[in-house]
Amino acid sequence: MSNQRARQLLDQINTLAPSNPFKIMNVCGGHERTINLAGLRSLLPGHIELIPGPGCPVCICPEETIAMAIAIALNEPVVVVTFGDMLHVPINTARGEPRSLEQARAAGANIHPIASPLEARTIALRHPTQQVVFFMAGFETTSAPTAALIAEGIPDNLLLLLAARRTWPAVAQLLNRDQAGFDALIAPGHVSAVMGSDEWRFVAERHQRPVAVAGFDAASLLAAICSVTQQAINGEATLVNSYPAVVTPSGNRHAQHLIDQTFTTVDSRWRGIGTIPASGYALKKKYRLHDAHIHFSKYSAQSHHKDEMPPGCDCAKVILGKEPPDHCPLYGTACTPSNPVGPCMVSDEGACRIWWSSGLHKQRRAKQA
């Protein structure tokens, strides 16, 4: 059914003809992956351009927080646990100093990759005499489970180094600029499952841009693309839910309640972008004994990081949707998944890595040949 539906939607999109080039941004690594795996860019009419935006929490995690995690891991008798792709994210450091958590681990620091916040608790319970620091970078989909981990009963020896970010304020920041760089938005399915599709209503109502929430199969994405394109042709801008099996207008209220009980909303830095108002979560005061930002604040004070990307890396432009990954001069030359220069080539949700894994390096090589 899904294939039949996808074909029908493609046919329909191909009959639509926006008068100008029409740029549709997505803000989710999962969407970008489906777009690449299904080859949607080559199937759509040429005037419809799909742009990856800020959809990778690891890519925008501030350098100073990564530097702090490295310093804590190297200097304190702790175990640092973090999601696997964070281990390899490079930061700018003085020559000879570890540039990533992986290099800190090679230098003797006790660092473990995990796949779930539940593993952080298991490790903390297994090492009751040792402090365990869970360095968490994620959007709302991971913030809710992290809030659950805390609310369910956090072990005394488990601390959190949070780099939790909210998705919609980054989109609002782009829209508040003179040139947002996109005409319509595909809103993230899993973030909307937790927070509700209504969170994206502002895109249509305040900024007059069509917006559709999409799931992660090609048919759901095509339904969203079809919807926003049709809206633009009709001169309309509304919010459409193309992922109704999972997304409701109000989302998972209990998840939002857990987030509200556990975190406060704070202005936060995004690597390569800068500070975005109300775009992050910090632990509430009642959990300050578990807050690694407070407990190890001396390492934050020492940080001189400016949250820049590595020299020559265009990740900031890629994240802001100003440039596709293969326009970066280092893409596929100095920067590959086995030797990443910037965070967008490290994370599974980074646009450079997704493009490369889908075979887009071959085109680049062919162009160079």
Partner 1 sequence: MQITEIDGDLASCHSGGITRTVNLFIFERGVLKPGDYVLVHVGYAIQKIDPEAAQLAWETEREMQGAIRGDPNA
Decide: 192 and 247 in contact? Cβ < 8 Å: yes
User: Per rule CB under 6 A, is residue 318 in the interface with ligand SF4?
Assistant: yes
The torsion angles phi and psi of 281, rounded to 5 degrees, stand at -115, 140
Q: Does 118 bind partner 1 (CB under 8 A)?
A: yes
Cα gap 55→320, rounded to integer Å? 10
Phi, psi at 246, each rounded to 5°: -125, -30
Residue closer to ligand SF4, measured from CB, 26 or 192: 26
Kindly state whether residue 313 participates in binding ligand SF4, applying the rule CB under 6 A. yes
3-state class of 279 per DSSP?
A: strand
- CA 22 remoteness from chain centre: 24
Tell me if 233 contacts partner 1 by CB under 8 A.
no
Q: Which residues of 200-296 form beta strands (DSSP E)?
A: 211-213, 239-241, 263-270, 274-283
Which helix (DSSP H) or strand (DSSP E) does residue 63 occupy?
helix 63-75
Q: How many CA atoms lie within 13 A of 328 on its CB side?
A: 33
321 contributes a contact to ligand SF4 by CB under 6 A? no
Alpha-helical segments (H) within 96-166: 101-106, 117-126, 140-151
The residue (of 22 and 331) whose beta carbon lies closer to ligand SF4 is 331
What is the smallest separation between the CB atom of 233 and partner 1, expressed in angstroms? Answer: 13
By the rule CB under 8 A, 238 interacts with partner 1: no
Quick one: which segment of 81-89, 129-137, 216-224, 325-333 binds ligand SF4 (CB under 6 A)? 325-333
Q: Does 152 bind partner 1 (CB under 8 A)?
A: yes
d(CA 88, CA 339): 10
Q: Which stretch binds partner 1 (CB under 8 A): 4-12, 63-71, 88-96, 304-312?
A: 4-12
Tell me which stretch binds ligand SF4 (CB under 6 A): 33-41, 47-55, 295-303, 324-332: 324-332
Give the nearest distance from C-beta 134 to partner 1 in angstroms. Answer: 12
| Token pair recorded at residue 26 | 């997505």
**How many angstroms separate the CA atoms of 12 and 9, rounded?**
5
Q: Which of 116, 162, 125 is nearest to 284 (CA)?
A: 162
* Interface pick for partner 1 out of 223, 330, 352, 354 (rule CB under 8 A): 223
Q: Which residues between 21 and 80 bind partner 1 (CB under 8 A)?
A: none
The residues that touch partner 1, with contacts defined as CB under 8 A, are 1, 5, 8, 12, 115-119, 141-142, 144-145, 148, 151-152, 190, 193-194, 223, 242, 244-247, 251-252, 254-255, 258
The residues that touch ligand SF4, with contacts defined as CB under 6 A, are 313-315, 318, 325, 328, 330-331, 335, 341-342, 344-345, 352
